[in-house]
Every structure is written in C-alpha cells, then in structure tokens.
Amino acid sequence: MTHFIPLTGTPFLLGVVGHYNFVRIHQSLRITPAMAAGVTKTLWSLTDMVRVIEDWEAARSLKISGETMVG
C-alpha cells in the first residue's frame, strides 16, 4: 500500500520552493527568480529561509491555538 502525504502548505514545501526562488542563482538568469521578478533585491541565505519557515510555523500554531503574537 502506498501512503500519500500532502505537501501543500508544509515547511518542507516552503523550503523547497523558497530555496529554488530566493537562494539558488539560476544559470540562464544569472540571478534568482525572486530577484528577476522584483520580489527581493538581495540574495537570501539558507539561514534567511529557515527564519521565514520558523516564523510561518509560529504564526500558524498561534492561529490554530487562537493566541495572539507579541512583537
């Protein structure tokens, strides 16, 4: 039996998509797709991606629990 795990909205998917668009410099563009699209002007590091994913997870868990996030 094959088990299917939906990856939509998971930290794994955010990491893969984020790395592809914000961290990895593409050979044909010579910049990241996010930079080419004007979303960001700087090249992100993996540390930046981890921070975004951690912030997303914290906001999501607070939303689920009904608490409010403080500063």
CA–CA dist 5, 64 (Å, integer): 21
Cβ–Cβ < 8 Å for 59, 69:
yes
Maximum distance among all Cα pairs of the chain, rounded to whole angstroms: 46
Q: What is the pTM of this model?
A: 0.65
Measure the CA angle with vertex 20, ends 7 and 4; round to 5°: 15
53-70 per-position pLDDT tens digit: 888 888 888 877 766 655
Q: Which residues contact 28 (CB under 8 A, 6 or more apart)?
A: none
For residue range 4-54, list pLDDT tens digits in order. Answer: 556 556 777 777 888 899 999 999 999 999 999 999 999 999 999 889 888
Domain residue limits, the chain: 11-65
**What are the backbone angles phi and psi of residue 52, rounded to the nearest 5°?**
-65, -45
